[in-house]
Amino acid sequence: MSTKDDLTIRIGGEGGEGIISSGDILTQAATRAGLNVLTFKTFPAEIKGGYAMYQVRLSNEKIISTGDGFNVFVAFNEEAYKVNKKKLTEGTVFVYDGNGTGGFEPGDLPGVVSYAIPMSKIAKEDLGTYRSKNMVALGAIAHLFSISFKSLEEIVTNKFKRKGDDVVSVNIKALHAGKDYVEKELKKKDAIELSSVEAKDDIIVIDGNEAIGLGALLAGCNFFSCYPITPATDVANWLSKFMPKVKGTLIQAEDEIASLGNVLGAAYAGAKAMTATSGPGLSLMSELLGMACMAEIPCVIVDVQRGGPSTGLPTKHEQSDLFLAAHGSHGDASRIVLSCDNVEDCISLTVEAFNLAEKYQAPVILLSDGSLGMRKEGIKRPDISKVKTLERLKYDPSSNGDEPFMRYKITDNWISPMSIPGMEGGAYVATGIEHGETGAPKYTPDNHELMGKKRFEKIKNVEDDLPESKRIGDEQADIGLIAWGSTQGDVTEAVNRARAEGLKVAALFPKLVYPVPVKAIEKFNKTVKKIMVPEINYQGQFADLIKAATGIPVIKYNIYGGFPFTPNEIHNKIKEMI
């Protein structure tokens, strides 16, 4: 990239116009050109209509956040222009569907470099299909910003080949039509060029949902069951392609309750099993979550969070399922909750989730979110040889002599050997009812207290199983931020900017969010004057969990409009708080 080291291109239009496809193709083309990419997309809950947006941030450097806005905006229609008009400030480049039938005229935009391209007209009148409008736009953008046309043609061919040769052919024509229009009719007025640097062949472009699927297979997952739900379905879509290759089983169940039921059955029978859902699905699973805890069955439950409550904002971003993940279910139901920071982390933390589930024979909830689940990043191909997997403590049939198998035997670390159905002498009944050491029902006060304690004590030190929480910034700071999940990137960028201005700031990024990592937070607290917790929910859920577990009076900073933080927002808040 010659003229800009950090460039964001945003494409906006109507759901159904192929905004997402355009963004995906642009992302792949940029990666082939050797650039780092990080994307963000948002669209309405309806299948057609409403404002849809796809944004690609590109850089020669590693990118950690979606950033503050865009440098180039491509508007497919007037509504998209109106939504983004305020951000079309001096120096931005504006490409829009203008200068022809179906287009619009935005009026005067001082300081903005504008290019009107009759996308709708070319698609409808010259190519005979409005569907190809997005490829006209891509062809035009490619020529304007020097994106390799050859790789664009290859990607478009690959993308549409399942729809038939005619579809491929008209879209290739559309790319050329957009390019030709720019060549003949427009004069380049900006300095942006995405010239190729050396393409790296060890880079893969995947999104957070696919990365969780990949992490699961690396962890040895051989059973997956789910019920489709936005924005988690792509975990299943990805696994449906690859699960057969590891001879595993994937079942689309009739609902989320059945999904977790399937998972618990499979895990009881020895499989490494996972389900993936979003908030409403996790709510439905809360009864069986208690059973996983009670019967001590290892399982991984992925929650790709979306805006709630109820059906809420299915396609929008929120971090508001933390209370549900930490406390949902009746009775004292213990569980471990982890949260993913970025796409790479979705791979390694999924492996970690399986390892913890196996080690502690407990449900592990892995939190991701809409923006991370649908975010594509170019990441280094994972080194499979470095993946470490753990297996549950298995019952050894030769160890018992004449004693009956004690599935819930009280041991020093509260973890008991688990048998697999069919093991000689290993039969036991796994139910949701309180039980004694053999698994047989037992309701005495002493026993319930002992078994309740067992289920919590075994995970009490889970914080020590994970690498120390990442800490950035000044060793002694005026303010320390504690961020969880995908806010990490925006917080990192904000902290770097604040420190560049001479402010003393630090941040801590725990991956374990429940049980609250008390040791890491207390250690961090000793190095900062006050703590702020930025999170995308109304209540300040992690802030409350931290206060309850540590007594530290943290300051809440919350937004909940359906979008992630921008680094700018957090940077301004840091300045305000200091």
Q: Least distance to ligand COA from the beta carbon of 47, Å? A: 4
Q: Least distance to ligand COA from the beta carbon of 518, Å? A: 37
134 lies in the site for ligand COA, by CB under 6 A = yes
Separation CA 156–CA 161 (nearest Å) = 8
C-alpha separations of 569 from 40, 238, 270 in Å:
17, 34, 47
Cβ proximity of 23 and 55 under 8 Å: yes
DSSP string, 59-101: ESS---S--SS-SEEEESSHHHHHHHGGG--TT-EEEEE-SST
356 lies in the site for ligand COA, by CB under 6 A = no
Residue 15 or 378 having the CB closest to ligand COA: 15
Residue 158 or 413 having the CB closest to ligand COA: 158
Please give the structure tokens belonging to residue 163: 């729809």
Residues 305-324 that bind ligand COA (CB under 6 A): 314-315
- Which of helix, strand or coil describes residue 294? helix
Q: Pattern 218-237, binding to ligand COA, x per CB under 6 A?
A: ------------x-------
Cβ proximity of 271 and 246 under 8 Å: no
Residue 37 or 229 having the CB closest to ligand COA: 229
135 lies in the site for ligand COA, by CB under 6 A = yes
28 lies in the site for ligand COA, by CB under 6 A = no
Q: Least distance to ligand COA from the beta carbon of 73, Å? A: 16
Instruction: For 77, list phi and psi in degrees, rounded to 5.
Output: -155, 175
Residue 113 or 167 having the CB closest to ligand COA: 167
C-alpha separations of 389 from 348, 359, 458 in Å:
11, 10, 19
393 lies in the site for ligand COA, by CB under 6 A = no
- Which of helix, strand or coil describes residue 283? helix
272 lies in the site for ligand COA, by CB under 6 A = no
Q: Which of 177, 179, 182, 138 is nearest to 29 (CA)?
A: 138
Separation CA 467–CA 528 (nearest Å) = 21
Identify the residue among 12, 18, 67, 248 touching ligand COA (CB under 6 A).
Answer: 18
DSSP string, 148-211: -HHHHHHHHHHHHGGG-HHHHHHHHHHHHHHHHHHHHH----S-------PPPTTEEEEEHHHH
Q: Least distance to ligand COA from the beta carbon of 301, Å? A: 19
Identify the residue among 57, 121, 131, 511 touching ligand COA (CB under 6 A).
Answer: 131
Total number of residues shown for the chain = 578
End-to-end CA distance of the chain: 37
Task: Name the amino acid, one letter, at 543.
Answer: A
425 lies in the site for ligand COA, by CB under 6 A = no
With CB under 6 A as the contact rule, which of the stretches 15-23, 258-266, 335-343, 536-544 interacts with ligand COA? 15-23
With CB under 6 A as the contact rule, which of the stretches 18-26, 178-186, 260-268, 295-303 interacts with ligand COA? 18-26
- The residue nearest ligand COA at its CB is 18
Identify the residue among 39, 84, 171, 209 touching ligand COA (CB under 6 A).
Answer: 171
Q: Least distance to ligand COA from the beta carbon of 61, Å? A: 29
Residues 178-197 that bind ligand COA (CB under 6 A): none
Name the residues that contact ligand COA, by CB under 6 A. 15-21, 43, 45, 47, 52, 131-132, 134-135, 160, 163, 167, 171, 230, 314-315
